[in-house]
Structure 1
Amino acid sequence: MRKNNTYYLRKAHRYLGLAIGIQFLAWTISGLYFSWTNIDSVHGDDMHKPPHYLASSQQWVSPQVVLEQLAYDSLVSIQSVNLAGSPLYLIRYFSGHAGEGHHLHTYTTLADAQTGHLRGPLTKEEAVLLANDHIIASAQLDTVEYISEIGAHHEYRGGPLPAWILRYSEPNMNVYVSAESGRVEKVRNTSWRIFDFLWMLHIMDFETRDDINNYLLRGFSILGFITVGSGFMLFFATLHFKRKKR
């Protein structure tokens, strides 16, 4: 018996559906999770205390006092940091001359805003003090760890290093405090970890989990479009065949 075009169309649609079906399922499950999950909970915003502001009665020295102690080529930014009620200056600047094909290195330093004295990165005790000032009191702190490098799949990827990890058991979350900037940078909890895993499946970037323009995602998107298109073609082809048979 001679096989018509509908037979080949049906067979192509079947194998395309098999190839793309698992990824379609991953897109659907991840999409459901994204739409039904509170993004504030994913970011850990619900664990933050209301912000504390520096008192107007505090005496500040001019940032120029700090800048005169630095050997810099150009200034990136000067910001204030609240270290549990103590004001600090956070200064970012470029230093050193870049040769051809090289870039200037960005430096970050902290200074006491009341005395103008330069100071080193946050200590372990200061990191705990800062985190306790930002995280609600019901959180149970277990361990504190200093990190200077991380892998590509680490939950703190992209964050400034070095940093302090404060691990809490109740709830199950990690708070990351930048040692050089004196700030709580990121909060990572169970909701975020589920979100991050599903996001990886959703965009099909299994390396950095950030590249939404990778070729694997583009290829599967095209396959998905072809699969849906073949389904429509198969529907109209079989509909025409049934009418003709009648």
Structure 2
Amino acid sequence: MKLKSNQYYIRKSHRYLGLILGVQFLFWTLGGLYFSWNDIDEVHGDHLRSEKQYFSSTMQMVSPQVVLEKLEANSAVDSVLSVQLIEIAGEPTYQVRYFSGAMDHSEHEAGGHMPSHTSNVKVQLANAGTGEFVSPLSEDEAVVVAKRQMADPVKVEKVEYLTEVGSHHEYREKPLPAWAVSFSQPDKCTVYVSAELGTFQAIRHDQWRVFDFLWMLHTMDYAGRDNFGNVLLKAFSIFGLLTILSGFVLYYMSSPSVRKGKKRMQRA
């Protein structure tokens, strides 16, 4: 029985690797075309948002210290993470984020910076004009905040209160709980507002959703979409390198010029 040559096995491996990788290369190319041909600011929905409004320098406000003293009198406050002046439905509001409870030692050494959804980071809203505490946003208040974000708001189609989302949800890795305020137009957009923080978090619309789906295909992270270090992507990178190298080897083994050069060397 005639033994098959190395060239046969290399050619067969190259063909199957090319077939498997070709599908993923097509996804990468389609994604790259969409990414490069779309304005990232429009993908983020910036063109749908109204211009940011600023507070007058003459408005009357109480000192943040008034809010902090009242907070310490009513809650267990270990330390303050931040005090920020925000706007809720046109009202100047203090957003106080503070630590309540034991803080992880490693976080303490790093300066105590922790994400807003960490269990021992609490949030308190207070009216900046009076210092009175403000409750987390109700549905009506969230709708007002969402509408004020839109340049041309239309009728609200649906409002949802989110306490948890999956790894593929368009509001993943954002502060919860949150209100999702959906509009029928433009582009079936949904505005997400954090109930506890009292602030706009994200706007999602059809253009972003297409981008997000192609991004998942691009990163090959089918579990959470945003992990560039996943095993599948690393494996396909190695397969791609093997495909290219096998192509170079096949070219060398099948090239007439190479064969002629070998024959000349043998005659010499």
Paired residue for 1:152, among 167, 173, 186?
167
Q: Distance in 2 between matches of 1:148 and 1:2?
A: 65
Q: State TM-score, norm by structure 2.
A: 0.85
Alignment correspondent of 1:212: 228
Which runs of no fewer than 5 residues in structure 2 stay unpaired?
108-117, 264-268
Q: Which amino acid in structure 1 is aligned with residue 121 of structure 2?
A: T
Partners of 1:208 and 1:2 lie apart in 2 by 47
1:125 maps onto 2:125 in alignment = no
TM-score w.r.t. structure 1 length? 0.92
The Cα of 1:7 is off from its aligned counterpart by: 2.0
State the partner residue of 1:167.
Answer: 182
Name structure 1 gaps, 5 residues minimum.
Answer: none
Secondary structure, aligned partner of 1:202 = helix
Q: Which amino acid aligns with 1:169?
A: S
Matched residue SS, 1:165 = strand
RMSD of the alignment, in Å?
2.2
Instruction: Map 1:88-127; keep pairs closer than 5 Å.
Output: 88-98=93-103, 105-127=120-142
- Per the TM alignment, residue 233 of structure 1 is displaced from its structure 2 partner at its CA by 1.9
Secondary structure of the structure 2 residue equivalent to 1:170: coil
Which amino acid letter does the alignment assign opposite residue 37 of structure 2? W
Query: In the TM superposition, what is the alpha-carbon distance from 1:163 to its structure 2 partner?
Result: 0.8
**Residue 110 of structure 2 aligns with which residue?**
none
User: How many residues were matched structurally?
Assistant: 246
Larger mean Cα displacement after TM superposition, 231-240 or 107-116 = 231-240
1:207-230 C-alpha deviation (Å, 9 max, x unpaired): 111111011110111001111111
Q: Give the Cα separation in 1 of the matches to 2:119 and 2:197.
A: 19
| Structure-1 separation of matches of 2:174 and 2:8 | 54
Distance, in Å, in 2 between the alignment partners of 1:8 and 1:17 is: 14
Structure 2 distance, partners of 1:228, 1:25, is 16
The 8 Å contact of residues 147 and 153 in structure 2, kept in 1 or not, is answered as no
Answer yes or no: is the 8 Å Cα contact 2:48–2:152 preserved in 1: no
Higher strand residue share: 1
Structure 1 residue identity aligned to 2:192: Y
| Structure-2 residue corresponding to 1:179 | 195
Query: Is the Cα–Cα contact under 8 Å of residues 97 and 104 in structure 1 kept in the other structure?
Result: no
